[in-house]
Amino acid sequence: MMNTMMEYKDVVKVIKEAILRSQYRAALSVNKEQLSLYYGIGCYVSRNSREGFWGKGAIETISEQLQKELPGLRGFSAANIKFMRQFYETWCNDLNSLITVSELGNRKSLTAVSKIDTQQLTALQKNENKEFNMEMFLSLGFTHHMIIVRKTRTLDERLFYIRQAVTNQWSKEVLSVRIDDDLFHHQGEIAHNFIQTISDTRQSLKAIGMFKDEYLLDFINVEELEEQNKEEIDERVVENEIVHNIKKFILTFGRDFAFIDNQYKLEAFGVEHFPDLVFFNRELNALVVVELKRGAFKSSYLGQLCTYLRLADDIMRKPHENPAIGIVLCKSADKNYVEYVIQDYDKPMGVATYKTSDDMPEKLKRALPDIEDLKKLL
């Protein structure tokens, strides 16, 4: 009986996956047809209203007549028809339509509605805009497209928000907020999973804007440390230098940080853990746990940091505070790899890199003024 039940579960799983794939393909097909229709109508309206014979108020009159001849028709108000025109005019230079020369010569003709040329989309994907995904473009609803078209200025921005909206299944309200908060220009500041792990939109954007992708810890001179410490320089040496220069580090790290402790003892079930640095950020109203690594990023660092964050939330976090945020600070990291492996963790974490004074080019070192001279000048 047990084997039979297991077989049924396998059968249900197979059928369920087939149903979901079919529903997705059906939705994609419907969406593609709708976008093609709106793009074609937008083209037709644009060419006639911008260059042709249509007079003032023509779109309003056309919308009213459509409502009379097709009672119950939705989505063809005067405002929506203008949106279709804007949709076409925004994308027409990037998505060439399948309109023949003869059709362009007759502005009154709409016998073959212009369709979005998937071949042109594929070419766009293969050329300079490698992040363009045709399937994502066609799967996003027209309302979402219009929010993006109306609120963005460049092709890169549009492609970014299309990708984010589809990947994260944003509602139109969330998409609008993300654009208003200028998420596009915050991207790339640090490899992170804040959007997926911090449910509050404003809080996640604050976190993205709070941390940089690289920090210059020029108060740490590894060459001098090597003279004092004949053994290999490790994370603890860098940590001690940060603690000894904690004011400089906080000024480098960002605003509203307060230092709590280093090697803070966190214990669970008799097992002791010691995160390198613990801060509190007033703007984020959250603990910030920093794990220092002397070398290149490794995926295992995220598991270690995730454990620290769980303990910090259970032991250190106050009732009024937001969940703790973790930062891995290492010498080097492949951002694409970090963003790939970090997405499966349920705690908000980011990975940044740092440079010390010995990493700076000698020419730049000589060009920088002495810190004591600057103090005197100030």
Domains of the chain: which residue ranges?
A: 2-139, 208-377
Nearest to 262 by CA among 299, 291, 233, 286: 291
Q: Are 149 and 92 in contact (CB under 8 A)?
A: no
Mean pLDDT, residues 343-347 taken together: 92
Q: Are 206 and 286 in contact (CB under 8 A)?
A: no
Q: Which residues pair with 355 in a beta bridge?
A: 216
Give the pLDDT confidence score for residue 268 in this predicted structure. Answer: 92
Q: Are 281 and 210 in contact (CB under 8 A)?
A: yes
Q: Are 320 and 282 in contact (CB under 8 A)?
A: no
Residues 306-317 pLDDT 10s: 999 999 999 999
Q: Name the DSSP class of 111.
A: S
Q: Which amino acid makes up residue 129? A: N
- Percentage of the chain beyond pLDDT 70 is 72
Give the pLDDT confidence score for residue 213 in this predicted structure. Answer: 80
Mean pLDDT, residues 251-257 taken together: 77
Cα–Cα distance for residue pair 367/358, rounded to 1 Å = 14
Cα–Cα distance for residue pair 142/38, rounded to 1 Å = 8
Q: Which residue has the higher pLDDT, 129 or 160?
A: 160
For residue 286, name the pLDDT band (cuts at 50, 70, 90). very high
3-state secondary structure of 283: coil
Mean pLDDT, residues 43-68 taken together: 84
Residue 325 has pLDDT above 80, yes or no: yes
Mean pLDDT of the chain: 77
Nearest to 359 by CA among 253, 221, 213: 221
3-state secondary structure of 213: coil
Residues 255-264 pLDDT 10s: 788 999 989 9
Residue 269 has pLDDT above 90, yes or no: yes
Residue 278 has pLDDT above 70, yes or no: yes
Q: Are 214 and 355 in contact (CB under 8 A)?
A: yes
- Fold classification of 208-377 (topology level): Trna Endonuclease; Chain: A, domain 1 (3.40.1350)
Cα–Cα distance for residue pair 157/154, rounded to 1 Å = 5
For residue 223, name the pLDDT band (cuts at 50, 70, 90). low
Residue 45 has pLDDT above 60, yes or no: yes
For residue 50, name the pLDDT band (cuts at 50, 70, 90). confident
Structure tokens at 191: 């490899």
Give the pLDDT confidence score for residue 132 in this predicted structure. Answer: 64
Residue 51 has pLDDT above 80, yes or no: no
Most confidently modeled range among 121-125, 146-150, 171-175, 371-375? 146-150
Question: Which of 137-146, 273-282, 354-363 is least confident?
Answer: 354-363
